[in-house]
Structure 1
Amino acid sequence: MVTTIQIKEDTKSTLTQMKLFERETYNDVLERLIEDVHELNDETKKEIESAINEIKSGKYITHEKLAEEMGF
């Protein structure tokens, strides 16, 4: 079954920019996005939350600092 939905013009523009190739349909783009969301299982969400907390608490190293430490 095919249906029509109303979206804002800027949303349509964003979907257009997200196409992997010119002839990809908006339905394909939306299905890809939905699949990506479903792939975030509970464990992945916990890992993301943990990483965000580490960054907020200052437990990270910049690319520049890492490169310096590794001698690049």
Structure 2
Amino acid sequence: MLAQNPAIGTSPSLCHQHQFQVGDRVETYRHCKGTVVRVDTDENGVFIVVRFDTLYREFAYDPYDLKIIQ
């Protein structure tokens, strides 16, 4: 039996790392629309920082909570 190295493989958050880019228009699961201002990582994985059209603040989201819109 082969030992598995946990460092090798794919993390679910890494699949989304290149999906979002700065300037992308996105919509949250609550239908708030905004623009990606930063894609960053921390010890928990990838997160997307969004500035909303109606709120002039920045919020961090998990990639699974956002979808790219036109």
User: As a proportion of its length, which structure holds more strand?
Assistant: 2
Q: TM-score, normalised by structure 2?
A: 0.23
Between the two structures, name the one with larger relative contact order (CA 8 Å, sep ≥ 6): 2
Q: Quick check: which one's helix share is greater?
A: 1
Higher-Rg structure is 1
